[in-house]
Every structure is written in C-alpha cells, then in structure tokens.
Amino acid sequence: MLKKSKIFLLAAVLILAFSQVAFPALTALGPVIPDADGNPLTPPWSAGFNGFPSWYRDSLGQTVTLSVPPAAVSIPDPTIPGNAFSQQIGFGSEAMYWHSTATVAVPGGQALLVLALEAAFGGGDAAPGDQIVFARVRIRIDTAQAGTYTVTYPYGTKTYNNVPVGTRAINDTVDVGLGAPGDFTGALSGEIGPFLKQVGAPAGTLGDATTLAQVTGSPTTNNFFRVVGPGVNVTQNLFVTGAQLFRGTPFNITRATFSRDGGGNAAAEIFATVPAPFTAGTIIRAVIPGQDIVSLTRSGLQFFGRVPFTAAFTPNITVRGITNGNNRTNLPATLVDLVTVTTATYAVGTSTLSLAAVSSDAQATLTASGWVGAGAGQALPNGVGVTTFSAPIAPDTVRVVSSSGGVITIKPIILP
C-alpha cells in the first residue's frame, strides 16, 4: 500500500496552479524512550527501543503510536536479514503511525491518494541514529486527456495545470519533516491532521488497515477523494485506514533538576507538560526510590513540583503519568543540577575573560571551556566570586559543565 520511497520533499512532473490546504493540526509528539544502556547507536538495545517518538497527537486529542508487529494494524516493511537493528525494531525501512489510502478508477487508469505519518530512516534501511518522521501527501493520477485537473482530498484542494496524457501524469508527493535525523518536530508542520478515522474502527485503533470504509475527521469536512478534469469527474469516499492508539498517558518531561546544600539535603525539581487538548483526570507523579510517591501540581498543561529527598539521594527517578481508562506511563529521568552563569565578560584591552557561576548543587565542581588556552577546561569555583582567565581573543561562547550533569553555554559580553 505504502511502498519504500527515497524521494524527498516534492516530486511532481507538472505545474501546480495553486493549492489550498488545511491548517496543520498535529499538536505534539512524545519523547523517545531512552535505550537502557545509554548508548542507542550500538547493541545491545533494550526491549521495545526503536529511537522514534512514542506518540503523536492531533487537535482532536487522538494520540497514535508507531504500529509495528505484532500489532494488528501494522503494515511496515519487512525486517532486513542480517540487519541487527531492523530485527530489533521489527521493520526494515519504514513503518506507520497513521495512514489512510484511497483509489478510484479514472479514464486511462487509476487515481491514488496516500496520506500518512511515517517513521523512516534518512539513508533508507534501518540504522540507529538515522531516524526521521514525516507527514506525507501523495497524489498519483493516470490521465487520458491533457488539461487542467483539480483534486479535492480530506486536507485540501490542489489544481494541476498543463497535465499531459499518460500513466502517472500527475505524480505529486510532498513529505514534510525530512530534516536532520532525530529532529522529529518537522512532521507537525505537514498537512496531516486531525487523523482520519475509519467508520467502525476496532477499539484501540483509528482503522484496521484492511477494511475499505468511510472515514471521519477531515478539517474541511471533505471526507473523500475527488478528481475533476477533462472527461473525468469521480469521487471516492472509501479509504483503507490504519493506526494504533497510544494507550498510555501522553506527557513530556521538560525539566528534571535537583538542588543540594553543603550538608547533603537535596530536593528534586520536576516540570512536565501534557499535550492539548487536556484530558480530564490526568495526574503526573514523581517516583523516587525509597520514599512516598508525590503528585505534581497542575497549572494548565504544565505540572511541576519540588520534592525533598527523604531517602538517600539518587539522580535516577521516574515520572509517572496516569489517566483514567488508560495505562500509566513511566518515563525515566536523570536529575542534573541547574548551572547559572552570573558573570561572563571579556575585556579587549587586557585580553581577559571574567567568569562566575553557581550550581544548585553545593557539592558540584565546575569546569569552563571555549576560549583559546582553555584546553579541555579550566576549574571554575562554584558560587565563589569572579575568576579571571587570560584569553588572546574574545570567545564566541563559553561552556560551563558541572560534575553533577548540568551544562550551560553562553555568549560573553565584550568590553573595551
């Protein structure tokens, strides 16, 4: 249905007179669940790890997850023999978060519409570190007469001028989100969304990827595929749609830091967000080994809390999301300190760099780098006055690293 492709932003063999599309309606994406050994580029990989976002959500609150075997609505490429990562994740070059496809007979052959939110790899075959996600709209039409054709589909309308006669005379693919591997936000700007849903879809899905059926969800109410042109005026309102709903609680950890005084008293500071629209009954909690679970305070779509350690300090905690009717979601979090640079100036006249920084962990040591002569880094006192370093030229940025995991990069102020 959706075949392996190595194109990539736009392939068309004709001129588009104009196109009218709906406003993008994917609102958020979930985190990539980390590999247990901390190195996602090499085996062994933890069970379930694939390096892709755990979910995407649309403006209707429909949240889909990547559909891979043994999911019933999975239509991925088969695994690649001899490719260890492909065998780990259960597919070869691509798999679907959501897809909906329609075909209709036209004079001269067939018209095809493919809509999809797709997981793939920049280089083609499955490879760790090469993951991409893109939103696809593909229109292919065989034509028996030359001229102007107008296509209406659930997310908009396109008009094609000067179309010749031929097989796939209209051959238009737009993939949005083909940025650098690991940057999964680009797909949010595509045409896809809200996700179409198969009428009569099985529970837990937006479609079974098999049944030809009507759909709902078009933001333009165009729950059909229509082709109008010389000698043709056809409409298809039956699609094959597939998607697996995310059954957990969708949320992202936006900050996980800690503070600790000289006596060892520590507290975790946790911030998390849930995607719009808010799901009533959602609770986010901090789970710290050896002590009581604490619910975070909610403000709109944000949850936050400061949780003192009553057990021995550990940087490894869990943030848990719970929604009525859904499975709970546990996201691992590693607490780091919060580093603040209070002074960063470079004096041209004396060729000196002045720095001062403080960590939220009184027990942390700080190292600064980024200027000629700094080498691998220079010790910087934690919260104790200003330190001056000799630097022959002004650095573009200065990086301060903490032994407790915090990092900050800033531009120094240049002084005469």
Percentage of residues in the chain with pLDDT exceeding 90? 88
pLDDT, residue 382, reads: 97
H helical segments located in 175-331 = none
Domains and CATH numbers, the chain: 10-245 (no CATH), 252-335 (2.60.40), 339-415 (2.60.40)
Question: How does pLDDT run across 232-251, given as a tens digit for each residue?
Answer: 999 999 999 999 999 999 99
Q: How confident is the model at residue 23 (pLDDT cuts 50, 70, 90)?
A: low
Mean pLDDT for 339-364 is: 98
pLDDT > 90? residue 17: no
Paired strand residues for 367: 379, 401
3-state secondary structure 145-210: CCEEEEEEECCEEEEEEEECCEEEEEEEEEEECCCCCCCCCHHHHCCCCCCCEECCCCCCEEEEEE
How confident is the prediction for the chain on average, in pLDDT? Answer: 93
* Number of residues that this document lists for the chain: 416
Reduced to 3 states (helix: H, G, I; strand: E, B; else coil), residue 85 is helix
Secondary structure of residue 200 in the 3-state scheme: coil
Kindly tell me if the per-residue pLDDT of 1 is higher than 50: no
Find out whether 141 and 169 touch, Cβ atoms under 8 Å: yes
Element (H, E) at 110: strand 109-121
pLDDT at 7: 37
Average pLDDT over residues 16-22: 58
Region 135-141: what's the mean pLDDT?
A: 98
pLDDT tens digits for range 273-285? 999 989 899 999 9
The one-letter code for the residue type at 278 is F
Q: What is the pLDDT of residue 24?
A: 63
Peptide bond into 194 cis (omega under 30): yes
More confident call, 16 vs 127: 127
Residue 143 · residue 163 · CB < 8 Å: yes
Strand extents, DSSP E, 246-313: 252-260, 266-273, 283-287, 294-295, 297-299, 302-308
The answer to whether the beta carbons of residues 33 and 54 sit under 8 Å apart is yes
Q: In the structure encoding, which two tokens stand for residue 296, read together?
A: 């975070």
CA distances from 105 to 109, 134, 141, 160 (A): 6, 28, 9, 19
Q: For the chain, percent helix, then strand, then coil, each to nearest 5?
A: 0, 50, 50
Confidence of residue 18 (pLDDT cuts 50, 70, 90): low
Residue range 197-220, pLDDT digits in tens: 999 999 999 999 999 999 999 999
Separation between Cα atoms, residue 48 and residue 46, nearest integer Å: 6
Does position 74 have pLDDT exceeding 50, yes or no? yes
Cβ–Cβ < 8 Å for 11, 173:
yes
At 156, list the tokens: 């908009």
- According to the model, what pLDDT value does residue 6 have? 39
How far the first Cα of the chain sits from its last, in Å, is 65
**Residue 16, number of CB atoms within 10 A of its CB:** 13
Q: What is the pLDDT of residue 14?
A: 46
At residue 22, the pLDDT reads: 54
* Alpha carbon of residue 113 to chain centroid: 25
Inform me whether the pLDDT recorded for 19 exceeds 80.
no
pLDDT confidence of residue 324: 80
pLDDT higher than 70, residue 379? yes
Q: How confident is the model at residue 12 (pLDDT cuts 50, 70, 90)?
A: very low
Tokens 């403006």, residue?
59
Mean pLDDT is lowest, of 18-32, 176-190, 335-349, for: 18-32
Helix (H) or strand (E) holding 98: strand 94-106
Q: Which range, of 44-48, 184-188, 254-258, 389-393, averages the lowest pLDDT?
A: 44-48
Per-residue pLDDT at 70 = 84
What is the residue type of 96? M
pLDDT at 54: 97
Which pLDDT does position 259 carry in this prediction? Answer: 98
In this prediction, residue 5 carries a pLDDT of 41
Q: What are phi and psi of 87, to 5 degrees?
A: -65, -35
Interval 81-95: pLDDT, tens: 999 999 999 999 999
Smallest CA-to-CA distance from 154 within 196, 201, 117, 188 is with: 196
